[in-house]
């Protein structure tokens, strides 16, 4: 009897293990089929299931209600408060508040484009350090006007990716730095067009032949969409024995520091080389020109030179146009 019981128990355990393994394999195969064959359906179902969690997360991170504000990184808030108190004492409060508001206003104006094109402001609720993928999750979705394929900006002109998919209240952004993602870039310094490949974590890698002088600090733009500077070459990997050298590009604003982004209201369409060249020219103008007030700016066309001697005063005005 004991032997029979023992045999039955072992058999039952084996059967249970086999059943679990079978179930696991069935789930995995089913999942892989959904993932590769009907990803949109999977995204829709998953987004529906995750909606309450994402909603709570959004409330916790972005809401201005008392409770989430209190819970949000309390120690950081306390430290910031002490710093602000110190600054308020130093600058008598109002001036500092005015500066902060001006900066925030400038940031928002910059995000929403000064050229009049309509953009949608969105908060970032998930970043690459929270996810194993190089994507951003935004707190605005279809009902807010986000469309798939729309470009995503930080600052006024810098494109960091595009909207890959949307739900009613969220949107998923694929970054240009997603591993394997290729994009055409223009590098100031050597003044060349080349292809950049995403490395993940906000890093781009550009590969050029050894003869081209690539230096740290060279600015890089993605001219296919806008003339905004994506970032600068932060490291050059060059070995004399290799036929090519690599430059690694980091964005001006680190991914972890992105709090708000702006999303274009139309999907990206293909871009021509002429458009890219126009964007490079615009970037050149933007980068090296500064708006100087007329009364300060001295040019050949409007300059006034005055010399005063001991006996006479001479004023000469030149009106030569260049």
Partner 1 sequence: MMLRIVSILLVLVTAATGPWWLAVICGLLYIVWFRGAEIVLVGLLADGVYGTGSVLPWYTTIFTLTLLLAEWLRPHVFIYNK
Interface ranges with partner 1 (CB under 8 A): 10, 13, 17, 20-21, 23-25, 27-28, 31-32, 34-35, 39-40, 42-43, 45-47, 49-50, 53-54, 57, 126, 129-133, 135, 137, 164-165, 172, 174, 178, 180
Q: How many Å separate Cα 11 from the centre of its chain?
A: 57
The nearest distance, CB 18 to partner 1, in angstroms, is 9
Nearer to partner 1, 163 or 276 (CB): 163
Which tokens hold the place of 257? Answer: 């520091």
Q: Specify the residue, 41 or 108, whose C-beta has the smaller distance to partner 1.
A: 41
Provide, rounded to whole angstroms, the least separation between the CB of residue 155 and partner 1: 24
Residue given tokens 């299931």 in the structure block: 49
Q: Which helix (H) or strand (E) holds 164?
A: strand 158-166
Q: Helix, strand, or coil here: 314?
A: strand
In Å, the largest CA–CA distance within the chain is 132
Burial of 243 (C-beta count, 10 Å sphere; 0-12/13-18/19+)? exposed
For residues 106 and 118, give the distance between their C-alpha atoms in angstroms, rounded to a whole number.
16
Least CB distance from residue 130 to partner 1, whole Å?
Answer: 3
Spatial separation of the C-alpha atoms in residues 85 and 73, rounded to whole Å? 18
Helices marked H in 272-322: 273-288
Cβ closest to partner 1, residue 162 vs residue 188: 162
Structure tokens at 15: 């059967």
* Least Å from the CB of residue 126 to partner 1: 6
Nearer to partner 1, 138 or 232 (CB): 138
Q: Select 152 or 220, whichever has its Cβ closest to partner 1.
A: 152
């Amino acid at each position: 009897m004991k032997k029979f019981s023992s045999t039955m128990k072992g058999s039952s355990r084996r059967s249970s293990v086999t059943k679990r393994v079978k179930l696991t394999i069935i789930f995995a195969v089913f999942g892989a089929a959904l993932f590769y064959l009907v990803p949109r359906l999977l995204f829709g179902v998953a987004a529906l299931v995750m909606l309450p969690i994402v909603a709570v997360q959004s409330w916790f991170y972005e809401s201005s209600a008392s409770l989430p504000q209190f819970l949000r990184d309390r120690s950081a808030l306390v430290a910031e408060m002490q710093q602000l108190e110190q600054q308020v004492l130093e600058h008598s409060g109002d001036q500092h508040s005015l500066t902060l508001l001006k900066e925030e206003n400038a940031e928002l104006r910059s995000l929403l484009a000064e050229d009049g094109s309509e953009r949608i402001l969105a908060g970032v609720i998930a970043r690459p350090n929270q996810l194993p993928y190089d994507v951003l999750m935004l707190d605005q979705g279809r009902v807010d006007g986000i469309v798939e394929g729309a470009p995503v900006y930080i600052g006024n002109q810098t494109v960091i990716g595009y909207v890959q998919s949307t739900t009613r209240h969220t949107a998923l952004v694929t970054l240009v730095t997603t591993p394997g993602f290729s994009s055409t870039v223009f590098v100031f310094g050597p003044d060349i067009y080349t292809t950049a490949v995403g490395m993940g974590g906000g890093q781009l890698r550009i590969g050029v032949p050894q003869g081209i002088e690539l230096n740290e600090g060279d600015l890089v733009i993605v001219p296919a969409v806008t003339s905004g500077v994506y970032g600068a070459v932060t490291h050059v990997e060059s070995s004399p024995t290799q036929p090519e050298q690599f430059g690694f590009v980091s964005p001006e604003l680190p991914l972890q520091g992105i709090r708000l982004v702006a999303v274009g209201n139309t999907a990206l369409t293909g871009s021509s080389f002429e458009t890219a060249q126009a964007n490079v020219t615009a970037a050149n103008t933007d980068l090296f020109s500064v708006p100087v007030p007329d009364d300060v700016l001295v040019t050949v066309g409007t300059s006034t030179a005055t010399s005063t001697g001991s006996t006479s005063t001479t004023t000469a005005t030149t009106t030569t146009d260049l």
